[in-house]
């Protein structure tokens, strides 16, 4: 049959890989959105050395910088944590609250968030290629009627691809500097950065920053 011939020629492999990538991106979306991003729990606030297992290096805190209790959830905030008004929790190594995920991006789910963006970018690029390959251009109303769906699909995929690409590149840049979106945007308002002698006391070089983040 035609299906068997296509299978023998390997023509069914690419659609199968594409479907698996889409499924993987959906699973990653739910994983990142439903998992604990690193909420600070009251029973864990006095534990020492917890960050060692996460590969996070804590710099020397200047003498005039004091860690305080959160005014909302009353837990002692570790360094780089921030209270999220939407999640109603303090989040370790807080990066940002993602409205698309309805969850914070923090210490525990940030690496998976990067993986999710990477897989999503591949899916969008592949989908954009498929949509573009199905277009043939003619200057006629009849052509527009027959191809309007493919044209709109390609434009939407192009816009989403640009957004995801910019997100991924910006996050990889911040990770390579060992900083977070919150620290980058609010450097002047964060006490342990404002009073630090170094502009970024967490930076240990690109290679070590990436290694500690992903490994």
Among the listed residues 70, 90, 98, 215, the single catalytic one is 98
Whether 104 is catalytic is no
Query: Three-state SS across the chain?
Result: CHHHHHHHCCCCHHHHHHHHHHHHHHHHHHHHHHCCCCECCHHHCCCCCHHHHHCCCCCCCCCCCCCCECCCCCCECCCCCEEECCCCEEECCCCEEECCCCEEECCCCHHHHHHHHHHHHHHHHHHHHHHHHCCCCCCCHHHHHHHHHHHHHHHHHHHHHHHHHHHHHHHHHHHHCCCCHHHHHCHHHCHHHHCCCCCCCCCCCHHHHHHHHHC
Give the active site residues. Answer: 98
């Amino acid at each position: 049959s035609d299906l068997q011939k296509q299978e023998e020629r390997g023509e069914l492999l690419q659609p199968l890989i594409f479907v698996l990538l889409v499924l993987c991106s959906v699973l990653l979306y739910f994983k990142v959105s439903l998992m604990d991003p690193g909420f600070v729990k009251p029973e864990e606030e006095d534990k020492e050395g917890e960050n060692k297992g996460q590969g996070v290096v804590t710099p020397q805190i200047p003498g005039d910088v004091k860690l305080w209790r959160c005014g909302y959830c009353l837990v002692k905030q570790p360094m780089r944590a921030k209270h999220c008004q939407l999640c109603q929790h303090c989040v370790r190594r807080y990066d940002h609250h993602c409205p698309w995920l309805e969850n914070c991006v923090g210490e525990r789910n940030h690496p998976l968030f990067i993986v999710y963006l990477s897989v999503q970018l591949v899916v969008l690029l592949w989908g954009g290629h498929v949509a573009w390959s199905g277009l043939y251009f003619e200057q006629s109303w009849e052509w527009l009627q027959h191809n309007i769906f493919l044209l709109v699909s390609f434009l939407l995929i192009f816009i989403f691809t640009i957004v995801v690409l910019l997100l991924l590149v910006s996050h990889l840049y911040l990770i390579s500097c060992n900083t977070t979106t919150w620290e980058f945007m609010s450097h002047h308002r964060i006490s342990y950065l404002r009073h630090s002698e170094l502009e970024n006391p967490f930076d240990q070089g690109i290679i070590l920053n990436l290694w500690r983040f992903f490994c």
